[in-house]
Amino acid sequence: MTRKPPAPFYRQVYAIVWKIPPGKVTSYGRIAEMLNNPGAARQVGYAMSALKNRADDPGYVGIPWHRVVNHQGQIVIKGSGEGRLYQAELLREESVEFSKDLQVNLDGHLWEGLLPHEVQAVLEEAGINPKYE
DNA sequence: ATGTTGACGGTTG
DNA sequence: TCAACCGCCAACA
């Protein structure tokens, strides 16, 4: 049962998220900026949310979605706190430190991100036509 | 085509 | 500081 592939912007987001190294985090807004689409931070979050509908879709399992937090380093999954605790657990397994309960210590764990030409290469590698620029 | 929906982020009071 | 607003914009129904 092949499933309809995600929309273009979501695929761009996933291609970037794959590149976040273990033990590092970045924010929804910074991913949007890397994609040359500042202001689309909410859409980045929505792309993460959409992953739970693809738990059985090979190619989208294993995306390190837990390494994406808000610009303050906080875990902001919506719903009853289970999702937040789960994300915190996944990060702790990578020795990410929290200054408070669910507040990531960004000083030591913020991902440097990709340069524009590196983003291009990543999108190219993912076979995404550079439609969105 | 049109209205709704947010795992955001900045501004305000 | 902190909470409440509000602009943002791709997906989706």
Q: Which nucleotide is nearest to A13 (CA to C1')?
A: C10
Question: CA at A47, C1' at B12: how many angstroms apart?
Answer: 29
pTM of the predicted model as reported, rounded to 2 decimal places: 0.93
pLDDT tens-digit map of A102-116: 899 998 999 999 999
Long-range CB contacts (within 8 A, 24+) of A40-48: A40/A9, A43/A9, A43/A13, A44/A13, A44/A68, A45/A76, A47/A6, A47/A9, A47/A10, A47/A13, A47/A14, A48/A13, A48/A17
The whole-number pLDDT of residue A122 equals 97
Averaged pLDDT, A72-94:
91
CA closest to C8 C1', residue: A39
